[in-house]
Structure 1
Amino acid sequence: MTEYPQLSALLAACHWIGEKGWCPATGGNMSLRLDEQQCLVTESGKDKGSLSEQDFLLVEMAANHVPSGRTPSAETGLHTLIYRLYPQVGAILHTHSVNATVLSRVEKSQALVLQGFEMQKTLSGQSSHLDSVSIPIFDNDQDIPALAARVAAFAEVTPLQYGFLVRGHGLYCWGTQVAQARRHLEGLEFLFQCELQRRLLEAK
């Protein structure tokens, strides 16, 4: 698959994510847009820290069809939804970090609002700690088409920007290219850690 630009960058990002412990066991899934019709999605049951090019499967986005017949991530439908909604999105990273998972449960509202942190500027379009960043939270569901439908309904009213949380599950984030998706992931993870620590200290 070396003919696909950006795949080596995505592999490097996956290995980095594995080293961070943000995708324990075989959790998480990653993808890369190829064009308007196709993307690459990680195969189900693979350790994200030791992926190879062969662990990415070609998926036809309109119907989530995999020509190879192999089994992609169970959450492929969320990846293809984001690609269909936002043509500018080039890569998606879905992780299961402790901070994202815990915060998504501690926060009882429908969004995690971050404000006052300088590192908000790691997110495209953010220029000041005085602004607020709202990360939507969707209740978890093993029925991925149903979850995707709820995400799509939300996006019709309020466009998604950097990503969203699934309650008790983890974070989906993206970017125009792998480098931007990786920056958004690292920035959000730092912000999640700060926010969780802030709440723990204020609760004492």
Structure 2
Amino acid sequence: MTQTSQLDQLVSACHWIGERGWAPATGGNMSVRQDAEFCLLSESGKDKGSLTRDDFIQVEIASNRVPSGRKPSAETGLHTLIYRLFPEAGAVLHTHTVNSTVLSRVEKGTALELQGYEMQKTLAGQHSHLDCVPIALFDNDQDIDGLAKRIEQFAAQNPLRYGFLLRGHGLTCWGKDVNEARRHLEGLEFLFQCELQRRVLESK
């Protein structure tokens, strides 16, 4: 698929995310891989539900350098990290949803483990509800370079698939292209809602 059509699909996905309230108050950031050297990342401070093609900024994956001098998202370093760690990743979506934010604070471990849900099969490579799907959890940090380094160190020794949670912050997920990243986002959000509801009911 051409770079142009991938960017158009990303703009459409951003509008879809905005309609669901998954990136409120200009929160969140989204990107698509342009080629081996560059990605296109949403500009800082923009409402994700009304983004256009012109609101995406070219960023060098290896260095986070922005040739145009415009201001990309504060979390640029997390997007470029994913593209460096996973050459097959073609799109990254970062959202601030209630489910992911609350669960990331309720869960005290280093991963949110999902098991027993048929919808786990929306995630690439998952074929059974019996499998355990761990979604890594990292403490939030305003030092994005330091946070990226911690995630990179984790990924060197542990499998990191689909996405990760930042405590009290939200979900970052990815896929081989925009459609897969969008499917992973929707599937994980459904699973998070189920898991949160299960925990509420079991606590009564």
Same fold (TM over 0.5): yes
What are the superposed Cα offsets for residues 2-31 of structure 1, whole Å, 9 maximum, x if unpaired?
962301100010000000100001100000
1:34 corresponds to which residue?
Answer: 34
Asked if the contact 1:4/1:34 (under 8 Å) is kept, the reply is no
Give the Cα separation in 1 of the matches to 2:28 and 2:3.
Answer: 25
Give the Cα separation in 2 of the matches to 1:35 and 1:49.
Answer: 25
Give the Cα separation in 1 of the matches to 2:143 and 2:151.
Answer: 13
TM-score, normalized by length of structure 2? 0.98
Give the Cα separation in 2 of the matches to 1:5 and 1:83.
Answer: 19
Structure 1 runs not aligned, ≥5 long: none
Give the Cα separation in 2 of the matches to 1:159 and 1:76.
Answer: 22
Give the Cα separation in 1 of the matches to 2:107 and 2:138.
Answer: 11
Show the 5 A alignment for 1:77-92.
77-92=77-92
- Deviation, 1:63, is 1.0
Give the Cα separation in 2 of the matches to 1:175 and 1:87.
Answer: 11
Show the 5 A alignment for 1:31-180.
31-180=31-180
> Residue type of the partner of 1:101?
T
Instruction: Say yes or no: does 1:187 pair with 2:187.
Output: yes
Show the 5 A alignment for 1:19-30.
19-30=19-30
Asked if the contact 1:104/1:137 (under 8 Å) is kept, the reply is yes
Give the Cα separation in 1 of the matches to 2:121 and 2:128.
Answer: 6
> Residue type of the partner of 1:4?
T
2:8 corresponds to which residue?
Answer: 8
TM-score, normalized by length of structure 1? 0.98
Asked if the contact 2:136/2:165 (under 8 Å) is kept, the reply is yes
Indicate the RMSD between aligned Cα atoms, in angstroms: 0.9
Give the Cα separation in 1 of the matches to 2:149 and 2:52.
Answer: 31
What SS does structure 2 have at the residue aligned with 1:157? coil
Asked if the contact 2:3/2:34 (under 8 Å) is kept, the reply is no
What are the superposed Cα offsets for residues 126-162 of structure 1, whole Å, 9 maximum, x if unpaired?
1111111000000000000000000000000013110
Q: Percent of aligned positions with the same letter in both sequences?
A: 71
Asked if the contact 1:119/1:191 (under 8 Å) is kept, the reply is yes
Give the Cα separation in 2 of the matches to 1:64 and 1:21.
Answer: 28
Structure 2 runs not aligned, ≥5 long: none
> Residue type of the partner of 1:140?
N
- Deviation, 1:174, is 0.4
Give the Cα separation in 2 of the matches to 1:81 and 1:117.
Answer: 30
What SS does structure 1 have at the residue aligned with 2:173? strand
Question: Alignment length, in residue pairs?
Answer: 203
Give the Cα separation in 2 of the matches to 1:96 and 1:90.
Answer: 21
> Residue type of the partner of 2:13?
A
What are the superposed Cα offsets for residues 92-124 of structure 1, whole Å, 9 maximum, x if unpaired?
000000000000000000000000000000001
What SS does structure 1 have at the residue aligned with 2:41? strand
What SS does structure 2 have at the residue aligned with 1:4? helix
What SS does structure 1 have at the residue aligned with 2:19? helix
> Residue type of the partner of 1:34?
Q
What SS does structure 1 have at the residue aligned with 2:103? helix
